[in-house]
C-alpha cells in the first residue's frame, strides 16, 4: 500500500535475507480445527499464529517499504507519530503531539530564507530498547545523520533534506528544525529511531554497504533493536518470524506470550492452513483477496469472524517508461482504454471494489470526481495504436514499421491467486487490441527487493500502494525520487516518470497550509496523472481480515499504519 509514505504491498528490499537466526519451533500440523470454544478449565492461550502472504526482504525500519515488514515491525517497534484507526495523527513514542497551538511548534525563518518551523518532541520516559537501554535523542540524531547521506539509501529522502538541524535539549528531548513549513509539519511517521550504540558503528564503517550489513538483517534477534511490546526471537528466512514479549516493555502488557507470523505466499495454501488450524488468523493487510475471503465466509462463517476494511489501498499497474514502446503516451492510453475495469471488479470481486480514477481514493477529501475516469473503449484503444504506428500483423499482434511486435511483460507477486486472475483477464483484454502480454511472476521478496525497486521489470508491474491520509505522492511521482544506483536505489518512482509541472505541484502542496487552497492543486495533480498515465489505475482494495472468534481488540486502520501497532489491545476471550 514503500513512503509517499507508502508501503508497497508489496511496498514495499534489496538487502540480504537474515541468516544464522535461531529456528523457531514448527507450527502445529494437526488437521483438527482449533476454533472450538475452550472449556472453563482450559489453559489461557499464550500463542497466536498469524498467516500473511509475504516475507520481508529487510527488517531495517528505514530501508525500503514493504507491507510485510511494516506488519511484523508493528509488533516490535513504535514510531514517534502515526495516524490511528480514526485517521487522526497521534503520538506513540512521544509524550504529546507538538502543535503551533500548544507552543511545541514555532514557525521560524529557515537559513535559506524560506518559512520554516521548529518542532519539539519529548520521548516517553518509559521508552526502552529490548536490552534495557533507553530510547534517546541520540537514536534519532543517528537516524537523521545516516538518512541525510545519499549513499545510505534510506528514505524518505525529502524528509532528511528538509530537516536541516536537530537541537538536542536533553537525553529525551529534541527540537527538529525544518526549512519548510508544511501542513503536516508535526507528522514524523517515517522518522525511525535507530539504536545508535548498535547501528552507528556499522554505518560509519561503510555507509554505502550499510543496507546489507545492518544488524537488523545480520542479528535480527538482538533485543537492542526492538522497542515495542514484542521482540524478534527467531527467524526462518522466507517462512516465519517468531516474536516474544519484550521484558523491557513498559506499556500495557500484551496478551500473548508469543506471536508467530508465518509466510504462506500461495493464497490457496494460506486458506488451507487456516482451515487446518495451522494458523489462527489471516492478517488482512497481507492476506486473502476479497473474492477468496467472500467465498470462504460462505463456508466458514461459524468458525471465524470476517471483517472487510475499505481503505487507501490502490491496486494499479506501474509502467516502466524506459521501455521504448511505453514512452509513447498513445500506447499507454490505449492500454488503459482496453481495460474493462468494471468487468474485472464485478466478475472477480462481486462489485465490491471501487474502480480507481487515479491514485486518490474516494475516501480521501481531495478526490475530485470532475477528473475524467478511465473508461473501457476498445475502438479508441485500436485507433490510438494505429496512430502510434502499431498495425495489426497476420496473427493479430501489432507491429511497428520495423516489424517489431508490440509485446510487453506483465509481472506481479507469485502465488497471489487474485492478482494472477487479474493478470489473465488483462492479458485477454489487451489481446483484443492487438497487444501481446507475457506473464512472468516472482516471489514477493524478489519482485519488490530486486525487480521493482531497481526498475528491472520489462513492461508493467501489478501491485498495490498503501498510503496515509492526504499523502503527497512525492516518492512515487517526483522526478528526484527515481531509483538510481548513485542513491543506492532509494525512491519509489519506479515508472521513471518526469514531469516539470507535477514536480512543482508536489513541491507546492505541502507548503499550502489552508485546505481549500490545496484543492485546485490536487485536482491538477489528478488531471496530469490521468492524462500522462505513468501508472494505469485499476481499483481500490478492501482488506479482508479473518480472525478466530476468540480474538478481540484488532482494529484495522484502512491506511498505511498496520493494525499490529496496537497489538497490546488484542485479547483472547476464551
- Is residue 209 over pLDDT 70? yes
The average pLDDT across 127-147 equals 97
Quote the CA–CA distance of 445 and 447 in Å, as a whole number: 6
Quote the CA–CA distance of 110 and 495 in Å, as a whole number: 33
pLDDT at 40: 36
Q: Quick one: 548 exposed, middle or buried, by C-beta within 10 A (0-12, 13-18, 19+)?
A: buried
- Is residue 31 over pLDDT 50? no
pLDDT at 43: 59
CA angle, 40 then 42 then 47, to 5°:
130
For residue 51, what are the contacts with CB-CB under 8 A and spacing of at least 6? 261, 262, 263, 264, 270, 273, 274, 279, 281, 282, 283, 287
Give the residue from 126, 526, 223 showing the smallest Cα distance to 366. 526
The average pLDDT across 352-381 equals 93
- Is residue 22 over pLDDT 70? no
- Is residue 370 over pLDDT 50? yes
The average pLDDT across 125-136 equals 97
pLDDT at 349: 87
- Is residue 6 over pLDDT 50? no
Query: Confidence band (pLDDT; 50, 70, 90) for 15?
Result: very low
- Is residue 8 over pLDDT 60? no
Quote the CA–CA distance of 476 and 529 in Å, as a whole number: 11
pLDDT at 291: 87
- Tens of pLDDT, residue by residue over 38-53, are 333 345 789 999 999 9
- Is residue 16 over pLDDT 80? no
Q: What mean pLDDT, rounded, does the chain reach? A: 90
Burial profile 279-309: b = 16 or more Cβ within 10 angstroms, e = fewer: bbbbbbbbbbbbbbbbebbeebeebbbbeeb
The average pLDDT across 382-406 equals 97
- Is residue 1 over pLDDT 50? no
Give 212's DSSP letter: H
- Tens of pLDDT, residue by residue over 281-305, are 999 999 998 889 999 999 999 999 9
Q: DSSP 3-state assignment of 568?
A: helix
Between 153 and 496, the higher pLDDT residue: 496
pLDDT at 445: 83
Pairing type for strands 258-263 and 240-245 reads: antiparallel
- Is residue 21 over pLDDT 50? no
Quote the CA–CA distance of 142 and 148 in Å, as a whole number: 10
Q: What are the residues facing 245 on neighbouring strands?
A: 230
- Is residue 30 over pLDDT 60? no
And the C-alpha cell for 551? 480474538
Indicate the range of 158-162, 276-280, 529-533 predicted with least confidence.
158-162
- Is residue 537 over pLDDT 80? yes
The full set of domains in the chain, from first to last, is 312-541 (3.10.105.10)
- Is residue 434 over pLDDT 60? yes
Q: DSSP 3-state assignment of 80?
A: coil
The average pLDDT across 71-88 equals 96
The average pLDDT across 532-540 equals 97
Amino acid at each position: 500500500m514503500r513512503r509517499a509514505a507508502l508501503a508497497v504491498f508489496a511496498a514495499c528490499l534489496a538487502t540480504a535475507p537474515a541468516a544464522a537466526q535461531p529456528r523457531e519451533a514448527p507450527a502445529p500440523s494437526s488437521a483438527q480445527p482449533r476454533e472450538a470454544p475452550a472449556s472453563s478449565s482450559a489453559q489461557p492461550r499464550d500463542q497466536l499464529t498469524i498467516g500473511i502472504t509475504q516475507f520481508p526482504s529487510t527488517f531495517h525500519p528505514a530501508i525500503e517499504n514493504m507491507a510485510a515488514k511494516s506488519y511484523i515491525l508493528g509488533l516490535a517497534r513504535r514510531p514517534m507519530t502515526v495516524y490511528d484507526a480514526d485517521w487522526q495523527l497521534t503520538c506513540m513514542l512521544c509524550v504529546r503531539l507538538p502543535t503551533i497551538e500548544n507552543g511545541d511548534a514555532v514557525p521560524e525563518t529557515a537559513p535559506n530564507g524560506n518559512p520554516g518551523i521548529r518542532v519539539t518532541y519529548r520521548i516517553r520516559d518509559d521508552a526502552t530498547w529490548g536490552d534495557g537501554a533507553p530510547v534517546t535523542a541520540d537514536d534519532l540524531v543517528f537516524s537523521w545523520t545516516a538518512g541525510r547521506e545519499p549513499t545510505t539509501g534510506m528514505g524518505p529522502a525529502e524528509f532528511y533534506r528538509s530537516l536541516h538541524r536537530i537541537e538536542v535539549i536533553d537525553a529525551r528531548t529534541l527540537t527538529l528544525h525544518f526549512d519548510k513549513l508544511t501542513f503536516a509539519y508535526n507528522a514524523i511517521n517515517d522518522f525511525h529511531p535507530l539504536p545508535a550504540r548498535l547501528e552507528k558503528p556499522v554505518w560509519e564503517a561503510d555507509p554505502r554497504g550499510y543496507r546489507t550489513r545492518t544488524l537488523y538483517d545480520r542479528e535480527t534477534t538482538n533485543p537492542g533493536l526492538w522497542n515495542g511490546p514484542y521482540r524478534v526471537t527467531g527467524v526462518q528466512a522466507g517462512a516465519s518470524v517468531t516474536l516474544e514479549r519484550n521484558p523491557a516493555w513498559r506499556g500495557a502488557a500484551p496478551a500473548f506470550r508469543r506471536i508467530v507470523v508465518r509466510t504462506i505466499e500461495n493464497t490457496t495454501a494460506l486458506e488451507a492452513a487456516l482451515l487446518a488450524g495451522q494458523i489462527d488468523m489471516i492478517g488482512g493487510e497481507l492476506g486473502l483477496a476479497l473474492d477468496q475471503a467472500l467465498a470462504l465466509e460462505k463456508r466458514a462463517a461459524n468458525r471465524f469472524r470476517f471483517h472487510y476494511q475499505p481503505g487507501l489501498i490502490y491496486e494499479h499497474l506501474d509502467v516502466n517508461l524506459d521501455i521504448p514502446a511505453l514512452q509513447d503516451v498513445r500506447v499507454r492510453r490505449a492500454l488503459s482504454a482496453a481495460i474493462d475495469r468494471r468487468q474485472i471488479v464485478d466478475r472477480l470481486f462481486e462489485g465490491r471494489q471501487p474502480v480507481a480514477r487515479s491514485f486518490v481514493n474516494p475516501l480521501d477529501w481531495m478526490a475530485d470526481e470532475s477528473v475524467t475516469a478511465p473508461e473501457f473503449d476498445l475502438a479508441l484503444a485500436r485507433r490510438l495504436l494505429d496512430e502510434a504506428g502499431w498495425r495489426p500483423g497476420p496473427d493479430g499482434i501489432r507491429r511497428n514499421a520495423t516489424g517489431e511486435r508490440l509485446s510487453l511483460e506483465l509481472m506481479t507477486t507469485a502465488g497471489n491467486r487474485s492478482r494472477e486472475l487479474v493478470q489473465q483477464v488483462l492479458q485477454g483484454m489487451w489481446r483484443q487490441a492487438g497487444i501481446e502480454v507475457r506473464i512472468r511472476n516472482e516471489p514477493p521478496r524478489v519482485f519488490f527487493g530486486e525487480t521493482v525497486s531497481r526498475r528491472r521489470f520489462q513492461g508493467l508491474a501489478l501491485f498495490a500502494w498503501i498510503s496515509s491520509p492526504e499523502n503527497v505522492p512525492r516518492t512515487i511521482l517526483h522526478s528526484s525520487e527515481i531509483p538510481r544506483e548513485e542513491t543506492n536505489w532509494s525512491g519509489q518512482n519506479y515508472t521513471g516518470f518526469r514531469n516539470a509541472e507535477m514536480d512543482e505541484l508536489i513541491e507546492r502542496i505541502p507548503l499550502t497550509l489552508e485546505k481549500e487552497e490545496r484543492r485546485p492543486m490536487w485536482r491538477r495533480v489528478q488531471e496530469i496523472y490521468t492524462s500522462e498515465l505513468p501508472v494505469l489505475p485499476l481499483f481500490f482494495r478492501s482488506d479482508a481480515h479473518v480472525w478466530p472468534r476468540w480474538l478481540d481488540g484488532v482494529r484495522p486502520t484502512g491506511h498505511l499504519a498496520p493494525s499490529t501497532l496496537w497489538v497490546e489491545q488484542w485479547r483472547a476471550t476464551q
